[in-house]
Structure 1
Amino acid sequence: MIRKIEKADYPRMIEIWTSAVEHTHDFLKREDFEYYQEQLPSYFEQVNLWGYVQEGLLVGFIGVAEESLEMLFIHNDYRGKGIGKILTRYGMDNLKVSKVDVNEQNVQAVGFYTHLGFGATGRSEYDGQGKAYPILHMSL
Structure 2
Amino acid sequence: MIRTYRNTDQKAVMNIWLQANLKAHSFIAADYWQTHYEEVAGMLSSAELLVAENDGRICGFIGMYNEMIAGLFVDEYYRGKGIGKMLLDTVKQMNSQLYLQVYKKNKRALNFYQRESFSIEKEQQDAASGEIEYVMKWVKKKL
Task: State yes or no: 1:72 paired with 2:75.
Answer: no
Q: Over aligned residues, Cα RMSD in angstroms?
A: 1.4
Taking every aligned residue pair, what percent have the same amino acid on both sides? 25
* 1:10-49 equivalence runs, <5 A: 10-49=10-49
Distance 1:97-1:17 versus aligned 2 partners, 3 A rule: farther
4+ aligned runs moved over 6 Å, structure 1: none
Distance 1:53-1:21 versus aligned 2 partners, 3 A rule: same
How many residues were matched structurally? Answer: 138
Q: Aligned with 1:98: secondary structure?
A: strand
- Length-normalised TM-score, structure 2: 0.90
- Length-normalised TM-score, structure 1: 0.92
Can you give the 5+ residue segments of structure 2 that lack an aligned partner in the other structure? 139-143
Amino acid at match of 1:119: S
Deviates more, 1:92-101 or 1:17-26: 92-101
Which residue is 2:57 aligned to? 57
Distance 2:96 2:41 in 1: 24
Deviates more, 1:93-102 or 1:53-62: 93-102
Deviates more, 1:15-24 or 1:94-103: 94-103
> Over residues 28-54 of structure 1, what are the superposed CA-to-partner deviations in whole Å (9 max), with x where a residue is unaligned?
112212122222212313310000000
Which residue is 2:135 aligned to? 137
Distance 1:96 1:9 in 2: 28
